[in-house]
Amino acid sequence: MSAAVRRLRSVLALLVVVGGVLLSSGCGYALAGRGSFLPEYIRVVGIPPIENRTAFIQIEQIITQQVRAEFIGRGKYTVVPDENGAQAVLSAAITSLTVQPVGFTEQQLGSRYLFTMTMRVQFTEVTTNEVLWSNEALTFRDEYDLSTRGNIALEGSSFIDQERTALQRISSDIARTVVSAILEAF
């Protein structure tokens, strides 16, 4: 075997080894929604009642319950109703809420509504008082089909009282958005 063939084999062998190393190393790709950027020691999260700065009564209670349930559902966290015993606290305020009809029946009554909520949300580490995540204008917007009752149109102020099922869906979606934003640092 000539020296040129041996060199060619050596180069090919080196390329195979380098290629194998490159292929076996991870690219760093990960699925969104699977992890948490929060420090590992945070296991207890305080979630006091969300403040409501809108005219829609009781919506803060429903959203607070859903946010607590969403944190618990992630399986890693214990939730307490205030900062006592918590390693981190979520504080939030609903700053704006609008409900606008976007779909109509043949009688020109609203049947589909655009629900838009803006919240101020802050997630703070308790011992250092360091803000781990915050958003001063977290906006949630989605459309929901709602039933009308005969010839009675739904007004924004009666939306909450008359459509509990839709409100549960909406608050569940909002809770998932808030918790995902905090845990995934979006």
- Of the ranges 33-42, 142-151, 159-168, which is most confident? 33-42
129-136 long-range Cβ contacts below 8 angstroms, 24+ apart: 132/38, 132/39, 132/88, 132/182, 133/181, 133/182, 133/185, 135/181
pLDDT band with cut points at 50, 70 and 90 for residue 39: confident
For 128-153, write each residue's pLDDT tens digit: 999 999 999 999 888 887 765 555 55
Selection from 55, 82, 57 nearest residue 68 by Cα: 82
Statement: residue 120 has pLDDT above 70: yes
pLDDT band at 4, cuts 50/70/90?
low
Placement of tokens 């779909």 in the chain: 103
* pTM score, whole prediction: 0.71
pLDDT in tens, 60-89: 999 999 999 999 998 889 999 999 999 999
Q: Which helix (H) or strand (E) holds 179?
A: helix 164-184
Complete domains list, the chain, with CATH: 39-184 (3.30.160.150)
